[in-house]
A and B are shown apart, each in its own frame.
Chain A
Amino acid sequence: MILFSSWQGEIVDNRGVKRAKKPKAIALPEEFKPGEKIKAFFGWDGIVICDDSVDLIDMALNYAEAMLKESCGKCTPCGQGSRFMRGFLEKLAKGEATKDDLNALRSLANLIKSTSKCSIGQTAPVPILHVLEYFSEEIEKRIASKKPAQPGNYRYAVTAPCKNACPSNLDIPRYVEEIKEVRFEESLATIREMTCLPGTLGRVCVRPCESNCRRALVEGPVSIKWLKRFAADFELEHRKKPQILKVPTSSGKRVAIVGAGPAGLSCAFYLALKGHSVTIFEKSKEPGGMATYGIPDYRLPRGVLTRHEVDIIKDLGVEIRYGVEVGKDVMIMDLHRDYDAVFIGVGAQTSAKMGIEGEDKGYRGFIPGVRYLYDINNGIDPYPEGKRVVVVGGGNVAMDCVRCSFRIGKTDVHLVYRRSRAEMPADPEEIHDAEEEGVVFHFLCNPTRIIEQDGKVVGVELIKMELGEPDQSGRRRPVPVPGSEFILETDILIPAIGQAVDLSFLAGCSDIKLTKWKTIAVNPDTFETSVKGIFAAGDCVTGPDVLVRAAGGGRRAAERIDQYLRGIEPGPTEEELFDRLFSTIKVFNKNEKVEVPDGMKRKELQKLDPETRKWTFEEVEKGYTPPEAIYEAQRCLRCYRIGMIAY
């Protein structure tokens, strides 16, 4: 039960009240980890107290100490003032403070809050001021009694809205600040602490961080993705050696990894950095998995991932065996026998079925989206005679399919989506670019039947849809309009409505349990499958998902595998537990009034002109120049904030 909350200015005071009210602004979990109750929470938007045994003055002192530790020292109010603030609170905690001290503390906290450069200084005084404001009577009593405070147990962590939203948990404010300070190499090193695919993610990430960017509440989010790309490109362009932590001496442990996609590569990289010997088994001839075969070159030029980033991983001693298919050339249980641990990082490589007539007939011209992209990325036009294309779906794969079509010389390109534009899951930028390139969109339509002649696709029957009540995903459910069928002529029909995991590699291994969604079941805290020593992450666990989550999963799994190999019980770190806590509390408040005047518009990337680019696989977007990157980085508000629990 919450005794008191001042979160986001909503005062809920249940002290001495019979019917406790629940605050709307915050949903604080009861426990931090199993068996550890959260007695109080101090954070950027206020204080929440669940247990009256917490000594608020002591907690305020500890919070001030955390602030002092986290203050970077780069501005006067926070860098210098936080020491004095801590000093006052120490006096108060010792029972030596006077009323004058209290006044001085209040005005100092206010000064730091309103004049500091970043959110550490702007938000850390908040819980302290709330204690002074809402518990003034208690404090006055304490001053009068000269009693010292009761020391308690506390934990804290630093987060930021963007960082908390990132599935790979990149320290975004830090790497952005390093770009702002012209420390480009350091910035990339910061990124590499959390992902080994900066150039790839810097191009194709779906950037959940940017939707959690406080600058978005001013004039547009900071281009976190493009800044990442800039840092990666700067190294590549200057042929610099990456600043990577030295590989420690060999642990003597060997790990086998299935699949050289984002999850497998990430897992390999971080395992290698811990001194383990890693071998990746990859059925294709090139690394990258779905990032290579599923993403066209105009968005992610082949060399960025398959040469540069993979070379760095190989330089750490990781071996990649190409052309070896697990489940056929080598069995997963053999790997389990021969290696100290196994990691499965297989992607979602088959297309989901539309469930319409003719889908399984093998008509010429019916090409599943993933297959279509795979061929194109291998330099093959899967159906050269076909010139008219209809793609079904509203996600990024559908976008890739339509945009690739022009680039292999298709003249007539249509996209069919069953909801309206607003519901499309694809990146709005992609939709815009596709539109510019001349793709014809048919919204609120769904295929019902393939029209075929002599075993070849000649068209598709579509039915019009309208939007009904919202479904589980919160989007309005499309409902067919009876009798509205019409025919769209085409040579090629491409379903791109979703992907599925091809689990045939598990042949002969029934011990690995699956979920009802036909993915591999793992313990979310350990990434371990039902077989001890076999771990998994990425799309084969989550189902089709974004690259950044697969990469993040690969890295986290590496940490667990390292624990496992060292004989430690695998489990989440305190930092991860805090991330979960912060996700529940929500670090980003989209209703916040950000006290920053606008004026620094987001710097967009230059793009090739649509008429030029639609016929070539040359990269569409040109990266930032250093002045553009520095400017964009200057827009960052450095929204670090400290969350502390008493337990």
Chain B
Amino acid sequence: MPAMITVTIDGREIRTEPGKTILEVARANGIHIPTLCFLEGLLPIGACRLCIVEIDGYDQPQPSCMQVVEDGMNIRTDTNNLRQMRRDILKLLLLEHPLDCPICDKAGECQLQDLVYELGYDTKIVEGTAGVPMLHKPPVEWSTIGIKYFPSRCVVCQRCVHVCLEKVGRGVLEVGKNGSTPCIVPAHPERCISCGECLAVCPVGALTENVSPLKARPWEKTKTRTVCPYCGVGCVVELNVASDQVIKVTTDDTVPPNYGTLCVKGRFGFEFINSDKRLQKPLLRQGDSFKEVSWDEALNYVAKKLKDIKDQHGASAIAGLCSARCTNEDNYIFQKFMRAVIGTNNVDHCARLCHASTVAGLATTLGSGAMTNSLEDIEDADVVLVFGSNTTENHPVFGMKLRKLARMKGTKIVVVDPRRIDLVDDAVMHLPLRAGTDIALVNAMLNVIIREGLYNKKFVEEHTEGFEELAKLVEAYPPEKAEEITGVPKEDIIAVARAYAQAERASIVYCMGITQHTKGTDNVKSLSNLALVCGHIGKPGTGVNPLRGQNNVQGACDMGGLPTFYPGYQRVDSEDVRRKFEKLWNAKLPAEPGLTVVEMGHAALEGKVKALYIMGENPLLTDPDLHHLEEALKKLELVVVQDIFFTDTCNFAHVILPSCSFAEKDGTFTNTERRVQRVRRALKPKGEAKDDWKIIAELSERLGYPMFYKNAEEIFEEIRKATPQYAGITYRRLEKVGIQWPCPTEDHPGTPILHVGKIARGKGLLVPIEYRPPKEQPDREYPFILVTGRSYYQYHTGTMSRKCKVLNYGAPEPVLEIHPMDAHVLGIASEDTVRVTSRRGSIELKARLSERVKRGEVFSTFHFNEARVNLLTGSELDPVAKIPEFKVTAVRIEKVEKGE
């Protein structure tokens, strides 16, 4: 602790730590100094000069936001002289400021208004300026699809400039001149990612939201705090509602995980809620079309069909997909329904397609299949290895954080990815390995670390087992060999190995590039080996951190939306566990594990599964080898889809049931860092739409198992009983900030970091893993490797994101990224239509020439139903986790001639 110092502010003696600014000390002691540009969390800008104070010994006033306190300083914050200066400075801003407050979006929330009110607007100011020649500000405006700039209202406080630089790391905006008037100019529009952070910090009405046609005064709006429905970061958002419509999304600077930051989807991706394409009534298939029916008719139909199939073919002929998009409460009820009412463990969801290998891999090596650390504690890391995660596009708010840390703190980021993703710009190194060769790379890193004695011997001894075997295996992976396999220069492998091992704190962040392989589980175990050998686990800024893809994929897994687990990862094949749940649910439960997502398709084709109940999923875009799946769906006797929109999967449904969007729901989501957060109802359900859990409950009643829940909270109370990790969490405790599981008791604060002091498994298991190449290799006929993934602007199957103006503008159509040299050889130019063909199918889409991909590799996203990438992917599965190899598909590319 540095020695305390004493300063006097307005006659008050204050003890404080040195190194703080006068403004900080004043605020901490309840002394108000007016400011306009200052913003907590940013470096001081020093633009407005309203925060000036007087300091003994100096003739000139000093800016309190920039001046650091010194022992013995005597400071005055409020004198006649200062007031006059502040009024005069304000006058400079007001002289040409349009007093268009009645039509300004910001009226009532405007800090300029507040300052004028506070400091006064005396007539002297007006007299004094009578002779000032007014300069006309030419109305040069600019706007993006989501943001509009009014230069005449701008006070050039530069919060927007600095938030873009410091928080988002983009540096789009700069101060420029409009004639001789300072203004904000988009100096680098190509860098803009439309996150709207600039808009959020504008103190006046200069930057305004350009999406919702509906506007409202602050007092006409209600703000409902809930959780963003897109990626797994789980940002806290406030839905601003007027006339039962979401008109804007804001957030809260003070709470995790996002602390006031949002990405383009969080801020501008809300139009789908109000979309007129929302399903509003139950639909029943009639030949090739659907007819609107009553809830009774629809539910009776489903109940009867389910009962018939169960009677005729047994419970295992029925399978269900719960949803990573629905709440914990919805998922809990769904799996309970499948298990207790239908009597099968055939319940799974799309977590199978993203992080099943994580759950399996980390559970084996560490004893818990979730992200070990918090999103926030990456701030403590000195080195971050980002493996197969396009973080800035897929987990944008976390990506921004990585960017910010790289630039503002000097955190060393290493990107391991076949593509030159955007994060590479902020990385100290990029290892562009060949897709699917991760194990060889990690083994070589381990080889270096062990050979050079850089591993954490004490940690290995006390907290791991299997070191000898691992050390022996990696002997066979010198960096030279890894260079041959991965294509990464051996010097780089050695450098990264040293940097990771020698760092005080180093974290591994990974995503689909690791998991979506037939060796996905082994990939995950490899990363776990790396962390354990170096002892980078159980401390802030360390760990093995899978980034979960969807808003509630963690929760859906926690709730037992998996064929092998009850809620809380309790095994269905354990006698004791089954008895416990039989008692809790008062039902006889099946003992054998159920089918996984892809297996359900196979079983349907074989006629073993007759009915499929799908809640909030769209497998017709997400699952691999779609032709095969279509055939399977066609054979089913009953397909029920419960969703908010008519998805591609609905085309194969017999019954479609309209459900509520997140904005109409109460419940909880669990984000990637195991944080359970409250989802709150901000709007009335659309049309006759109902809560997902309610639909299931009503169906359950028709099948003779009434479920008596008045609301989501009652379900959560049951979840607490069923799920040990959630036992201590209550809705009351989640009121402001979410809690990270495990949280065993109501007085437990939650667990930001797993494996502290001791690995959950007891000892971390080191697993020697040989490298084997991916199942599909490029050959003469299919010479390219196709890698699939997501883009920043769209989300998943586009069901929601494609209903939003800003998002569609950002990524309007499917494209195939191809290296310019490859394109040249094939005679392909940018914007040409190309045909991509694999052993399983063929799609056509536009080519985009890009050096982000290596030669021999191409990339596309799976958001678009006009070019369903998953027609191409194969259904080869990881033997343990049953995850398909989305990341490596051998394809052939041809140019589609016009008129063809």
Kindly provide the distance from the CB of B499 to the nearest chain A CB, expressed in whole angstroms. 11
Interface residues of A in 71-109 (CB under 8 A from B): 71-77, 79-81, 83-84, 86-88, 90-91, 97-98, 100-101, 104, 107-108
B518 within 8 A of A: no
- A90 and B175 CA atoms in complex are apart in Å by 26
State how many residues of chain B have any CB contact under 8 Å with chain A.
60
A-chain residues with CB within 8 Å of residue B787 when the two chains form the complex: none
A181 and B175 contacting across the interface, CB-CB below 8 Å: no
Binary A-proximity of B165-196 (CB < 8 A = 1, otherwise 0): 11000010001110011110000000000000
B407 and A182 contacting across the interface, CB-CB below 8 Å: yes
B131 within 8 A of A: yes
B568 within 8 A of A: no
B67 within 8 A of A: yes
A149 within 8 A of B: no
B68 and A600 contacting across the interface, CB-CB below 8 Å: yes
A77 and B92 contacting across the interface, CB-CB below 8 Å: yes
B140 within 8 A of A: no
* In the complex, residue of chain A having the shortest beta-carbon distance to the beta carbon of B405: A626
B428 and A238 contacting across the interface, CB-CB below 8 Å: yes
Kindly provide the distance from the CB of B69 to the nearest chain A CB, expressed in whole angstroms. 7
- A117 touches which of B63, B132, B408 (Cβ 8 Å): B63
Interface residues of B in 82-117 (CB under 8 A from A): 85, 88-89, 92-93, 95
Could you pull out 10 A-B pairs where Cβ atoms are within 8 angstroms? A73-B156, A73-B176, A74-B158, A74-B182, A76-B92, A76-B93, A80-B95, A83-B135, A183-B165, A597-B67
Give chain B's interface residues, CB within 8 Å of chain A.
18, 43-44, 46-50, 52, 55, 57-63, 66-70, 73, 85, 88-89, 92-93, 95, 128-133, 135, 155-156, 158, 162, 165-166, 171, 175-177, 180-183, 407-410, 425-430
Kindly provide the distance from the CB of A240 to the nearest chain B CB, expressed in whole angstroms. 8
Q: Told that A86-B180, A630-B408 touch, could you supply 11 new A-B pairs with CB distance under 8 A? A: A74-B47, A74-B182, A75-B47, A87-B133, A88-B133, A91-B133, A115-B52, A597-B62, A597-B73, A626-B407, A634-B66
Interface residues of A in 545-590 (CB under 8 A from B): none
* In the complex, residue of chain A having the shortest beta-carbon distance to the beta carbon of B96: A80
- B182 touches which of A79, A97, A98, A114 (Cβ 8 Å): A79
Kindly provide the distance from the CB of A370 to the nearest chain B CB, expressed in whole angstroms. 34
B95 and A84 contacting across the interface, CB-CB below 8 Å: yes
B85 and A115 contacting across the interface, CB-CB below 8 Å: yes
A80 and B93 contacting across the interface, CB-CB below 8 Å: yes
Task: Please list the 10 inter-chain residue pairs (A to B) with the smallest Cβ-Cβ separation, ordered nearest first.
Answer: A73-B182, A599-B68, A87-B133, A80-B92, A625-B410, A79-B182, A595-B60, A599-B70, A101-B131, A626-B410
A-chain residues with CB within 8 Å of residue B60 when the two chains form the complex: 114-115, 595
A-chain residues with CB within 8 Å of residue B132 when the two chains form the complex: 84, 87-88, 104
B-chain residues with CB within 8 Å of residue A115 when the two chains form the complex: 49, 52, 60-61, 85, 89
- A301 and B52 CA atoms in complex are apart in Å by 45
* In the complex, residue of chain A having the shortest beta-carbon distance to the beta carbon of B86: A115
A270 within 8 A of B: no
B89 and A238 contacting across the interface, CB-CB below 8 Å: no
- A625 touches which of B130, B409, B425 (Cβ 8 Å): B409
- A108 and B47 CA atoms in complex are apart in Å by 17
B-chain residues with CB within 8 Å of residue A101 when the two chains form the complex: 131
B-chain residues with CB within 8 Å of residue A111 when the two chains form the complex: 85, 88-89
A239 and B429 contacting across the interface, CB-CB below 8 Å: yes
A80 and B69 contacting across the interface, CB-CB below 8 Å: no
A-chain residues with CB within 8 Å of residue B61 when the two chains form the complex: 114-115
* In the complex, residue of chain B having the shortest beta-carbon distance to the beta carbon of A238: B428
B55 and A597 contacting across the interface, CB-CB below 8 Å: yes
* In the complex, residue of chain A having the shortest beta-carbon distance to the beta carbon of B81: A114
- A83 and B52 CA atoms in complex are apart in Å by 22
Kindly provide the distance from the CB of B625 to the nearest chain A CB, expressed in whole angstroms. 39
- A114 and B55 CA atoms in complex are apart in Å by 13
A511 within 8 A of B: no
| Residue among A182, A599, A626 with the highest chain B CB neighbour number at 10 A | A599
A181 and B165 contacting across the interface, CB-CB below 8 Å: yes
- A634 touches which of B43, B49, B69, B128 (Cβ 8 Å): B43
A-chain residues with CB within 8 Å of residue B156 when the two chains form the complex: 73-74, 76, 79-80
A117 and B135 contacting across the interface, CB-CB below 8 Å: no
B428 and A76 contacting across the interface, CB-CB below 8 Å: no
A237 within 8 A of B: yes
A117 and B47 contacting across the interface, CB-CB below 8 Å: yes
A599 and B410 contacting across the interface, CB-CB below 8 Å: no
- A240 and B177 CA atoms in complex are apart in Å by 30
B427 and A238 contacting across the interface, CB-CB below 8 Å: yes
B-chain residues with CB within 8 Å of residue A181 when the two chains form the complex: 162, 165
Kindly provide the distance from the CB of A538 to the nearest chain B CB, expressed in whole angstroms. 35
Kindly provide the distance from the CB of B139 to the nearest chain A CB, expressed in whole angstroms. 17
A-chain residues with CB within 8 Å of residue B429 when the two chains form the complex: 239
A627 within 8 A of B: yes
A73 and B175 contacting across the interface, CB-CB below 8 Å: yes
Binary B-proximity of A584-624 (CB < 8 A = 1, otherwise 0): 00000000000111111000000000000000000000000
A-chain residues with CB within 8 Å of residue B428 when the two chains form the complex: 237-239
Kindly provide the distance from the CB of A635 to the nearest chain B CB, expressed in whole angstroms. 10
* In the complex, residue of chain B having the shortest beta-carbon distance to the beta carbon of A186: B171
- A246 and B554 CA atoms in complex are apart in Å by 49
